[in-house]
Chain A
Amino acid sequence: MAKKLRVRGHKVVLNRSAGGDFGITFFLVILGVFMFIPMYYAVIQSLKPLDELWMYPPQFYVVKPTFKNFSLMFKTLQTSWIPFSRYIFNTVFISVAGTFGNLACGSLAAYAISKINFPGRKGLSSLVRLSLMFHPTVSAIVNFMTMSTLGWVDTYLAIIIPAWGATLGMFLMQTFMEGNISVAVLEAARLDGSSEFRTFWTIAMPMVKPGWITLIIYSFKDLWNTGASTYIYSEELKTFNYAVGQITSGGVERAGVGTAAAVVMMIVPIAVFVIGQSNVIETMASSGMKD
């Protein structure tokens, strides 16, 4: 039998076939280009001056890049019925308030479930896991009825409050806490007379920084992308994503402005992810479910 092992850096590693390496690299490059081109295209398109935008045949590069589309976007929306700043404010307000609440409620619940042994924790934790199978559309009708009973229809509350109970970030936080907070440390704190809330705040939370950064990123990204909601009618309460949709559906004369708006729309969540990327990956390492 041919020797399949070789030594690389004092470690025994499996001999990888060169053909396989090449095939995989080739596949990754092709797929990567496919993933990247639309994003690249969006950025290029948003930087094109009007004459290049309507050049035929369309070009994959920009000769004279300009930020005119972006300033035009602000102007277009400034003169529209609702000032542009209002859409931005709505989205930022919803995102920040929703994320903050989700962080507070979610990490408290995640801590209790992962670190306190109380009757019912197993049931609650499997309900959370089960809920990952629920698609928001399934609950939309009943939620609308609940909202109208509570009088939340056409208010910020209709979007902010349900976000406080969003499960994915909380679930990731919970699995991360399970593996990354030592019970011994918590026990020591409890013996010293630290209240459970104090233990949570001063001992547990600093230990799971990647967990809450991940929760923030997930919550923020979902809320930032909130579009036309069924619970909101008033134009002045609608979000930036909704406004972007309105501009882009404006047809040919809005093409440059439309891509500029879409670029702003997509840059923000990507930037937020890049800032926290290593923390997210660390959290994901302990993600998953056993049964």
Chain B
Amino acid sequence: MSEKTVSAKAPKTPKAKPVARKDMTKAQWIWKEMKRNYIAYIMCAPFFLIFFTFTILPVILSIFYSFTIFNLIEPMKWIFLDNYIRLFLDDDIFLTAVQNTLLFAVIIGPVSYLLSLFVAWFINEIPPKIRSVVTLIFYAPSISGGANMIWGVFFSGDSYGYANSILMRLGIIQSPIQFFQNADYVMPLCIVVALWSSLGTSFLSFIGGLQTIDKAQFEAAAVDGIKNRWQELWYVTLPNMKSQLLFGAILAITSAFGFGAVVDSLAGNPSVDYCAWTIVHHLGDYGGARFEVGYASAIATILFAMMVGSNMLVKKILAKVGQ
């Protein structure tokens, strides 16, 4: 009787001899591990299925389409680099877009990044209750999607706009300026608004990172002869939050190169004389409006390459922090 219960409880595939990893080829070992952890793949499946379809696949396909002529109606035709040649040699508006994108990215990227870092660092010493209010004030513009339009009202072209009214009362200008119809003002204003709404996730990440730093390190550093808060920042604080610095940098770069929505909501699409026309706009124009999938994919690929390239550059720079 007792024998029967024992045999019933015994596993179906008795482990005759324990298998050590060295007895197997690498492929066998991986296969065994995959079978053992099959549940992990089930858990990952829903997310990664959607993620691959809507995030990874588009990038891969875009690179592929960028070597073709494809407009969804006629059959696809392989043309190798012609799209890229056309972009750089025949498309003046694209060159304007590249120029504007680089200008925006070079200003908005680093400035918003440093602004997030320094504000997070400064408010770190404020008592927690006040700090959460201050955090909210700085962070709120980045999550309030509809609030960009308030800048439009503020700088509206008639004398009821605050900016015009103030300038006119001070006697600086005689008649109202059409801020968003004038190529001289569109770029700077868009940059200001973009910076205003740029203290986002990286800012919160820096705040979170700063809170995890062990206070004892600061005391030790003070004893070791750190002279002022800037040295403290460079030698103690920043090296302690390197992972947040990198995370923040990646987010800053992506949003700086993908800049375009702010322009749309303030200056319209297209902006006057293409003065604030970015790669994102060009992409939307060819992809969304004209359905030149091949050509638009070439634009997307270039934008993608710019983002990845600058990320690699930033990684190298960040490796020097604290040295």
Contacts and interface: CB of A to CB of B under 8 A. Distances in A.
Interface in A232-283: 241, 244-245, 248, 255, 258-259, 261-262, 265-267, 269-270, 273-274, 277-278, 280-283
A273 B136 contact: yes
B107 interface: no
B144 A288 contact: no
Given A28-B119, A109-B48, A141 B287 contact: yes
B251 interface: yes
A198 B243 CA distance: 32
A193 interface: no
Contacts of A225: 143, 145-146
Contact of A113 (B44, B134, B137, B143): B44
B195 to A, nearest CB: 9
B39 A197 contact: yes
Given A131-B55, A287-B205, A288-B241, A262 B135 contact: no
* Prevailing SS type, chain B contact patch: helix
A131 B51 contact: yes
Contacts of A106: 47
Secondary structure class of chain A's binding surface, majority of residues: helix
Interface in A137-154: 137-146
Interface string A6-26: 000001111011001000100
B83 interface: no
Contacts of A280: 204
Contact of A112 (B40, B134, B280): B40
24 contacts: A14-B226, A14-B228, A31-B115, A35-B196, A38-B141, A57-B169, A104-B46, A118-B40, A119-B37, A128-B51, A135-B258, A135-B307, A137-B280, A137-B283, A140-B283, A141-B297, A161-B54, A165-B47, A165-B53, A200-B43, A266-B140, A280-B204, A284-B209, A288-B242
Interface of A: 4-5, 11-14, 16-17, 20, 24, 27-28, 31-32, 34-36, 38-39, 41-42, 45, 54, 56-58, 60, 104-106, 108-109, 111-113, 116-121, 124, 127-128, 131-146, 161-162, 164-165, 167-168, 170, 195-197, 200, 218, 221, 224-225, 227, 230, 241, 244-245, 248, 255, 258-259, 261-262, 265-267, 269-270, 273-274, 277-278, 280-291
Interface of B: 30, 33-34, 37, 39-41, 43-44, 46-51, 53-59, 61-62, 65, 72, 115, 119, 122-123, 132, 134-141, 143-147, 149-154, 159-162, 165-166, 169, 196, 199, 201, 204-205, 207-209, 211-212, 215, 218-219, 221-223, 226-229, 232, 241-247, 250-251, 253-255, 257-258, 260, 265, 280, 283-284, 287-288, 293, 296-297, 300, 303-304, 307-308, 311
